[in-house]
Every structure is written in C-alpha cells, then in structure tokens.
Structure 1
C-alpha cells in the first residue's frame, strides 16, 4: 500500500485509526486481561496478530468504500500457526466468526475448521506490509500447559480468546466513541466497608438463633482472611444466613488475596432477583451487575449513565460483583462465540460462589465440576459450593483436582443444625387428589408442592375458592410474580392462603407457611420444600409440619432415581436434615446414575479425543436441555407487546420484554394447540396464543391438549 497509511477503522466523523495503533492497543489490553492466569505473552501475540490481514489492498479498498469481500482474520492465524503458536492461531482465526473446530489435515479450504482456514493461505490477498510495522514475538505459555495436548489446552485457548475479543472490541469502541468506556473502580476494600456498615447493628446478637447466625458470619470472615485461595464448601442450614455469610467470606477473601471481583452463580431466576436486591442494598446499586435472560436493560427507554454502564457490563462482566445464572456461567465456559466468551477472562482472579450447588443438573455434572476445577487449579479462582444440602461432589473433585482438597468453611461445631431446626417431618402415605384437597382446605395457610403441572391444576381445582392460589410454569413469569406478591401479602396479614405449586417455589423463593405438604421426591427437593415452612422460625418446630405423601398419579420417570434414593435414606435416618442423611442421599443418587449419566453429551471424552472441538462442544452443551417451545400469551402488558409485534416491532428488545409473557410447552402440546388453530407460529419457532380463553387468570395455559408429562417445575 505504498503512498497510503494502512487503516483499521474509519469513524463516522472522518477520524481514522491506523492498523498499528489498533494492534498495539488491543495487544496491551489483552496482555493485561491475561495476567491473572499467566497468559500475558500469548495474549499480546494474539492482539498483535489478529488484524494483520487488514494490511491487504483488498481490505484497504473495502474500508474506503469499495464493495469487495476481504478475509482479514485468516492471515494472522496463518502467521501464528507457522510460528508454532497454536493457541494464538485459534484465537485469531475465530475473533470474528467464533472459535472453529480444529478439524483434520484432510479438510478442504472451504471448510470452516482451522485446518481448512490455514489452507486458504495461497488464495489470500497479499498482506506483507505488516512486517514493516509489527514484529510478532515468540510467546511462551504458562507452566501448566507444558505437557501433551489435552482438555486444559482447550480451556486455556477459550480464555485467551476471551482476552483477545474483549480487548479488540474495547479498543475499537474507544476509537469510534472518541473515549474509553467508563469503568467501575470500586475496590474490594470499599465494598468491605459497606458490608461492615450493614452488619454493624447485628452485634451483640439477641436470642440463640441470631447468636448462631452471627457465629457463622464471623467464622466466614475469619476463613476468608485466613485461608489461601482454593476450593471451599459452605454448608449452612436454611435460616443460617448463608447469603450474607458467603458474601462476607468472598469480600474478606478477595481483599486479603487481591482478587478482583465476586461472582454469584445461582440456579434459577426466581432466586437471582431477590439475592441481587440484597447485594444492591448492602453494596450499592452501582456495584452489582445482575445478568440473566429475564433482565432487560432497555437503553431506548432509559439511557441514564448508570443503565448504560450496566448494559455494557453484561458484555464482559467488568463489575466488582456479578450475579448470574448457572446457565449463563457454564454455557459461556463451553461456548465458541465472542458474544458469550468475552466475559470469561474476568472470571479469572475472582471468588465464585455457587449458590444452591445441589441444583447442578446431573446430565452435565461432570463437565461443570471439571470447569470449576480448571478455574481453581489454573485461573486464580476461589470457588465456594454454598448450600443447605451439600451434594457429595468430593469424589469428582478429587478426580479432577487430586492435589487440592475441598475445605468446609463452617464445620459442625460452629453450625449446630439442631438450633436451626424449624420443622418436623411426617409420612402421610398415599392420597387421592380429593383427599389431599380436603386436608389442604382444613388449613387457613398451607403450601402443597406436587411433581407435575397437571397435578397442580388437578389439586387446585378442588380447593376452596377463597384464598387459594396455583403456581407453575404454565403461568408466564410476570403472572407468577404477581401471584407471589399477593401470597406474601396474605401470609403477612394472616389471611387465608392455600397454595398448590410445582417445584419452582422450592428454589429459594422467600415465602413462609406454617404447614407444607410435599409429594414424594428426592431428599434435596423435600428439604428445599421444608425451607418454605416456618421460614422465619416464629413457630415451634413441633407444630410446623412437613407432610410427605404419595400422589394419586405415578411419578414422572425423570424422578424415579431421585425418589428411590430418597426413600432409601428416609428409611434409614430419623433426622432427614442431618449432614449424614444428606451426604448419603447424594452418594446414593450419583451411584445409581453412574459416570455416563453425569456427562450425557460426552463433553469430556470429546475434548480428550478430538482436535480442539470448540464448535461441536458448544452445540452439545446446553444446561437446560428440554424439548420445549415458547408460547407468548396476551396476559396483562403482554397483550400490548404482542400488538407491537404485529405492528412490525419485532426487535431484540421487544422479544426480551415478551419473555415475561412466555410459557414453555412440550412439542406435543404445542402441536395440538397449533392443529386447533390456537397459535400463530413466528419465524423464530415461538408462537402467539390466538385464543385468550386458553389462558386462565388462576392456572395459566390450559393443559387440555398436553400429554400429561408436564415440566416438573
């Protein structure tokens, strides 16, 4: 390009950025991002190499308005590959289109694998001018990669890719905007001071229960300051204050060891919203990022600086405290696209709390545990499995982390479970739905949890009309939230409140009933249900009964192993809440399923046998893998949103808003509704409910056409 300055970008106002400036800026950021895991040299190399294809005549002409195609990412991958820099070659090759599968040497140039991309070298436009400005370093690798190729190489490459794509985006954004993105610079010390202010009124504690809670809190603070980074468990009974205690550990630990952020990983959005609100109250709204599929930062309606910062932070998690879902966290760790992977490097050097760790789905349990193990072993992460019902995961962690033991933050001498016992369990035997409803109607305030959506509707239909509620995923999220608000109001005011629900109410939903009925399930579900009984500890445990009953309909096959393991434990232990009973239950359940069931898609074996199968793994790893389709219902504000959709407003923001008015149904149910003419199917596979009569204010979407195999939540 003699006579021209080679450019990387041209802004709308005519300003231009040279390739050299962009490569150096990207390399500097990427190098900084990779420091927590020792990948600085590789990240700097990837940053310098990623856009050298832009030195070609074709790209420069395209940048100046000529409508021609110009592949600019393959060139950098080729240069890295020829220097035996495998990790950087993958990261550079995928920095726009996503990490490719490695493929094989027999792949053709038109294939999307790395081998295919490398074979395009001869057809690339000449880009040799880069050597006049850039020298690519021969980059070393962290010591843990100094062994034959394996899954650790794949994990590192994805982390390196994260550093590159985030640095590339941020450098480009800063040039285009004329200024760098505003960062939240709140220190862990400042957050620690806020927590101290929040808990200052708790001491000295009043009453035995509060005294024990404060002991747990103080122990977590001591452990945070005294323990070296690694793998921890926090086993605290319901009511023990584990949310604040785990935050106290995380902040004390991060402050002591120079860790950069705290990440909370929570299984369901029904819990995440209330926990995030607690953290915002303690630490300030400006320091907490809530990131999940149900939360929308609508910059069209609310373009305030704070909202803009939060919306941008969802892209890369550059915030001191992040609250997210297990789906978002683990699917990002096994993703191949830049939009999901940008955030990964910001997990390194963090404290990661896995709340309700027993909810990790069994079909992906081993890949999840392996990913946590990688973060702990090589990426300066302290991981905490935080739950009232600790799963028996130690054997799996010992397999993946043979040199690192799991350390319990709150041993039995501190956390005496009998102090927190707030319920008594009773076996109620088999019941017809009529008999069950009669017992429920005899209580003014009672919660009943059943295993299927069909059972929930059957039992609800038999309850007295006054003060009775139904809750299941056949109701859209907005509808469920409204029902929960009304339930809490009635419970607080002492009004009649009889609720029949599926298991969605178990996962940390903050409600307090004097009596609970739970259809036979796994012990973890039974104990979670018990957490909704006498939650505030205001009644004697002997008068707060959790009845375990056999329902009229057979349990779904999905539950058979959990129910079997639960019955085994219930027959051997009188105290179902004891650590011994809980540990035995999870051990029984994992033994029943076996290793194969804990990695249904064979993610780990694929990473061992294939050559960097990034794309294949991403396609297989879906933490919630249910064959459902979404039906948008015209309930409440959903009706107006559907009208906007009909008017042609089908953008990303509108669909995110519609998510609050969507119901997930199985394919057979969906097909029956469609055949009856009750749905209008959209291009994305979802549908709009055309017959509003099929959505009831009490029970949500009609199950008349369903197969009876309703979702268990």
Structure 2
C-alpha cells in the first residue's frame, strides 16, 4: 500500500509518507550543515514520522478525523535503540517535534504516562502506541548516518549538549513545517527571494560613499564628522579582514555614528567570511524602530525584518487575503531573511525555549553576524545563561558576535573565567575617542531632593530635562512643577502616537530657544535625538546615567564645562524604584562614585562599574539558577523554558483613541477588522497595562468599565476621562469603582 503523510480533505490530494520523510531529511540536513551536522539533520528528518506507518494512523488520515494517535514516539524509540552518540539528542528531537522538547525525566520513576522522554521511551509498540514496523519496508535500517562532528567536541558539557539538541531540533521542526507547507499550499507561499548579503553590502557602500565619505560635502571639515568617518573606516577595515576572532566588541562613544559603523562591519564581515545573515539584537523597541528605519532606507524595506511585539505580520495581507501570508510574516517564523532586527527578549527566550514555534528560527542564527546593540543592557539576572549561549553560538555554530555599546560592559573577565576566551575590540583608540566625544560634565548632588526642591531647581532653567526611575515620580514631579505650556511629561502611560507628538513639541521648543522643561522616565535615554543644555538624572546604573548625558549638549555646540548632568536621589523613599535589579545598579554606581566622581563617564569608571556589578554572587547573574538546573537535571528543556522569562510581569495593550486617526482605527476594530496594516497602525495608540491578577490595573479598569475588551488581543479605553492630555493613561483605579450587576 501507499503510506500517506498528509491528505488535503478539500480536494483529495495526498502526500506519500516516504516523499515527506525524504523531503524533511534533505532539508533538515541542509540546515544542520551550517554547523557541520548534516548527517545528524538527515537522520532526525528521516525518522521523525515513522510512527505514521501504523494502520491506525493511516485509517485516521483516510477517514479525515477521529481519534489521534501518538506518531512521534516511534522514531524516538528506534533512534535510542541505535545506541550511538547521537541517540539521545536525536530522540529528544523526534519525540518533541509536535509537542515541543520534553524534560528528560527519570528513567526509574517515570511511567508511560509521564510527560518526559524517559516516560515516552517506556511505551511499547502494539500496546501503548500503534505498531509502526512497516516503516522498514520503505525506510529500511539506515546505518551510515550516526556521524557527528560536534558531539565529540562537546563531551560531557551539559549546557553544550542541551544547546546542540535545541539547534538540531530547530533544523527538524523548520524542515517539517516547510515540507508540509509546500504540500498544503501548493507552493504558493513566497518565501525567501531576498537580496543576497553581497548586494546589501554594495548598497551600503554606495550610501556611505555619498553620505559620509564624500569629501566635497558641506560639513566634511567639521572635527566631529572627521572622527565619525575615522570610526566608520576602522569598522569597514576590520570587516574586510578575517582575523579568526568570533567574539568582538565595538565601543563607540555617544554621537560617534555607532549604527552605521556596526552595520558596515557586519556586512563587510559577512561577505568576507561567507555568513548568511546579520541579526541585530536590541533592548528597546524605540531603538529598533529607529534603526530599522535607517536600515530600510539604505538596504530596501523588503530586506529588513523586524521581529518584536509591536510588529505583527501574521494577520491579513494588505489586500485582505487571509490565505496568503506576506513574505515578511513567513520570515519571522524562521528568520530566513538577510537582516533581522529583534529584541533581547525574542532572541534569548527563543534560545532557551522548547516550543516548536519559538525554536524554528534557531538554526538560522548559526553562520550569522550577531550585533548586540546596547550590550550593557544584557539582562543581569540572566547574564550567565545569556553569555553561555553567545559562547556556544560563536564557538560551535560559526556565528560572529559583536557586543556594541557606548559604555562597554566588562564581560572579558566572565568569558575568560568560564571559557578561557577574550573579547577583541574593533576600535583600537577607545580612550582617545572618548576624550574627543566627551561633551558634558557629570556632577553628583550631595543632598537628597524633595519634590519641591527638584521643582525649584528645574524652574531656574529655561531648558532642562529631568529623568526619573518610575512613572509615579514622573507624574508627581510634573504635577509639582505645574508649568503649563512650558512643561512636558513623557512616560509609557502615553501611547506612542502621543509621545511622538510631545517629542515634536519638545524639539520645536529647543530649536526655537523657548522655555522647555521635560520630566521623563528612562524611555528618553536611548534612541531619542534631543539636545538639552542641562540634564538631571535620578541615581541609577552608571550606563543609564551616561545614556542620559547623551541628551545633553548632543551636538557639542556648548563647552562641556557648561553642559552639566546632575545625579540626584529622592529624600522620600516611596518615590524610588524598589526593584532589586535597580538597587544593585544604584549600589554599583555609588561604589564607582567613591573613586571616579570627577569623571564618571570615563572608560576606567565604566569598567569599574561593570566589574563591581558582575562581582555579585552567582545567583545574582543567574537568578533562576538556569545553569545549575541544566547541570543537575537530565535535559530539563520544559523546565528551563518556563524559568527563562526576561519579562515576568504580563501586560495587555489598551487602545487609546487619542486623535481623529485613532478614532477611525477604533471604528474599524469594532467592526472586527484585523488587517496587518490596521493592527500596525493601532500599535501606535496602545498602552501596555499590567494584568494577570484580580487586583491588577487591567482587571480593575475592566471591572470599573473604564475599558472594553473586544477580543483576546484588543481592549479599548471607553472612559475618555481616564486619559490625560499631559499624563496619559490613568491606571490607578480607586477601590469601590467597580460596577456591580
């Protein structure tokens, strides 16, 4: 008989099982070849669906439904019986190719019902799962695929073994998805077809030659542009020479042109070394949007894929056809585009995930150039697992990592202690460039500030920026200042469209020399181009203070002695951020102030800050003890995925009909329209609100009828009094405001 893998019930089309197995085998093998494991990829691809050779599963397909049967355990049993070095990782991959990677479990305690690999391997063909031995008729017993280059190098390194398994799993599940998609969609989905890396490099080179290296340009002679060109040329030269180092840093002072310089290195290095793609990993969506816009202008919108929570390509295409996903949507599934711009959350949570949808993209991180922009923002609570992942990618998976920042964290010590590896700096004259781009003087205020004290200081300045750590502090300081049209408030309680309008007013006032006093949370520190003569910054991590200083005298038009950044602390403890991570960063800054108070932004002060911060005990750099879990448990994939969550407090977006366009979008949302274009526009009017508990702000607002929940993805503010033209969304609901029915 002809055994089937898939059947399209609508038109009766059928895909033979052996054709599917061979298709997935070849594709998974080609994916794994990127890190030298083609044979392993071919093996898991060939065996992943042999459980479908059972009579029960074939009847299920032909009848078009009914009881489902476990078809994943069969391949895992056969691969484990081979007793080869690849048996364990291959069995995990095949057993989990639908359900996700399982925990290893306990071979003695687990039963057939346990959700673990040990439990699954106790299932008996013909009893616990259908008999699948007919696979031998078509597949046979393949004996020449138990080859691995990496397994002997990994040895008994438990983290490396789990990482390898997840990467091999990625090859399998992506190949399985793609082969099945090809059959079900008749090849109509348009994947890939992006410009090659070499063409992107040519586009960038042409842009640089015109915009930056044109010596006839009007501003060519300005010293600041000369230094930017020097940094740019150094990055291009470093990219054109393959010196064998895959772990690099790029330290460029604020204002030094880091975005274009890092892209120039990445594309030149990718072409020189044959890398397949460039991946930008960025902490803030505000920076992503800014950088992606620059990249799209240079390289073409079609070649740049943004993958983060505020971009959704997964809905209908612009012509309303829900059956034909956009090429960009498909690229977010497996990152097969030449340039990916994503977040720390998306990148690292995927590397520690166990679900098929999150893991599909991982094999495409291999053989790529990874730029960690604002590398000082790598999450301290998860720093050791994150660095372990970077080590694996650069040591075993042909990736090049660049830790890129204006305030380079001193990670050399950790990489040396844990892996005997050194980070190589791309820019050789970091201290010299720091001295040139230094445009401010940072001063520590000895006395603690009350709201009235701070308001008085700000009123003494015509143009001043004050950055605080909490939305509460921003709100209360703004209310105390009470400066009408001369005062502005910025926080994430304002929807992005509102913040954009406020920033436009701020920039206009600054350029016109008009009074402009701004109270903001840290959202203004990175990716926001404003230039104040004076900045106040609440005590925080030194990297945040230096980012704040980047908003002062940004263009270097004033003497640095006149461009002051004041660091202060609140007298009222209720105004401060109580999070442990913030306290640790503040403590590290206070330690550095004891020795470097005269020049807090110097490279030596920055190194001292990160050295102190990273001296915290091991649990502080791995608060969920991910590394211990991996070393002590047998392949705890599900446990690790559950614990590795960079954002632990859940939120839900609330749509704010802020202006006329917002009200039109609201009307469309209420009509049930959810097109990609509409949802992307709607994102400009969203404010994230904490949810998940009965007394959370979201639940309180819903109970008080302040918002209306339209569906799982959209809630709309209906009480317009709950949104202020200056403070944004009011999330504090007084007790007793809930409406009872």
TM normalised by structure 1 equals 0.92
Are residues 1:215 and 2:238 paired? Answer: no
Contact 1:349 1:380 in 2 (8 A): yes
Question: 1:557 is matched with which residue?
Answer: 578
Could you say if the C-alpha distance between residues 158 and 184 of structure 1 is closer, same or farther in structure 2, counting changes exceeding 3 Å? Answer: same
Question: 1:487 is matched with which residue?
Answer: 506
Q: Give the aligned CA root-mean-square deviation in angstroms.
A: 2.8
Within 5 A, what are the aligned runs for 1:340-419?
A: 340-402=358-420, 404-412=421-429, 415-419=432-436
Within 5 A, what are the aligned runs for 1:4-153?
A: 4-10=2-8, 12-64=10-62, 65-84=64-83, 85-105=87-107, 106-122=109-125, 123-135=128-140, 136-137=142-143, 138-146=145-153, 147-148=155-156, 150-153=158-161
Secondary structure of residue in 1 paired with 2:326:
helix
Contact 1:215 1:414 in 2 (8 A): no
Measure, in 2, the Cα distance between the counterparts of 1:648 and 1:290: 25
CA displacement at 1:131 relative to structure 2: 1.1
Measure, in 2, the Cα distance between the counterparts of 1:471 and 1:82: 61
Contact 2:316 2:676 in 1 (8 A): no
CA displacement at 1:312 relative to structure 2: 0.7
Question: 1:317 is matched with which residue?
Answer: 335
Could you say if the C-alpha distance between residues 6 and 297 of structure 1 is closer, same or farther in structure 2, counting changes exceeding 3 Å? Answer: closer
Measure, in 2, the Cα distance between the counterparts of 1:706 and 1:246: 49
**Residue ranges of structure 1 left out of the alignment (5+ in a row):** 708-713
Secondary structure of residue in 2 paired with 1:547:
strand
Question: 1:710 is matched with which residue?
Answer: none
Question: 2:357 is matched with which residue?
Answer: 339
User: Which of 154, 167, 175 does residue 159 from structure 1 map onto?
Assistant: 167
Question: 1:661 is matched with which residue?
Answer: 686
CA displacement at 1:161 relative to structure 2: 0.7
Contact 2:493 2:687 in 1 (8 A): no
User: Which of 629, 632, 636 does residue 609 from structure 1 map onto?
Assistant: 632
Within 5 A, what are the aligned runs for 1:633-712?
A: 633=656, 635-636=658-659, 660-665=685-690, 670=697, 673=701, 678=706, 689=717, 691-702=719-730, 704-705=732-733
Question: 1:580 is matched with which residue?
Answer: 604
Secondary structure of residue in 1 paired with 2:532:
coil
Question: 1:711 is matched with which residue?
Answer: none
CA displacement at 1:609 relative to structure 2: 0.8
CA displacement at 1:107 relative to structure 2: 1.2
Q: Bigger CA drift: 479-488 or 254-263?
A: 479-488
**Residue ranges of structure 2 left out of the alignment (5+ in a row):** 736-741
Contact 1:111 1:117 in 2 (8 A): yes
Could you say if the C-alpha distance between residues 492 and 54 of structure 1 is closer, same or farther in structure 2, counting changes exceeding 3 Å? Answer: farther
Could you say if the C-alpha distance between residues 399 and 300 of structure 1 is closer, same or farther in structure 2, counting changes exceeding 3 Å? Answer: same
Secondary structure of residue in 2 paired with 1:87:
helix
Measure, in 1, the Cα distance between the counterparts of 2:731 and 2:168: 48
CA displacement at 1:686 relative to structure 2: 9.1
Within 5 A, what are the aligned runs for 1:430-441?
A: 430-441=448-459
Measure, in 2, the Cα distance between the counterparts of 1:44 and 1:206: 58
Question: CA deviation digits over 1:631-665, x for unaligned, max 9?
Answer: 55554466666666666779999888765513333
Secondary structure of residue in 2 paired with 1:263:
strand
Contact 2:252 2:430 in 1 (8 A): no
Measure, in 1, the Cα distance between the counterparts of 2:397 and 2:608: 32
TM normalised by structure 2 equals 0.89
CA displacement at 1:48 relative to structure 2: 0.5
Measure, in 1, the Cα distance between the counterparts of 2:174 and 2:41: 11
CA displacement at 1:556 relative to structure 2: 2.6
Measure, in 2, the Cα distance between the counterparts of 1:539 and 1:12: 71
Residue correspondences, number: 703
Measure, in 1, the Cα distance between the counterparts of 2:433 and 2:656: 48
Contact 2:3 2:58 in 1 (8 A): no
Question: 2:522 is matched with which residue?
Answer: 503
Q: Bigger CA drift: 506-515 or 224-233?
A: 506-515
Contact 2:345 2:646 in 1 (8 A): yes
Q: Bigger CA drift: 470-479 or 325-334?
A: 470-479
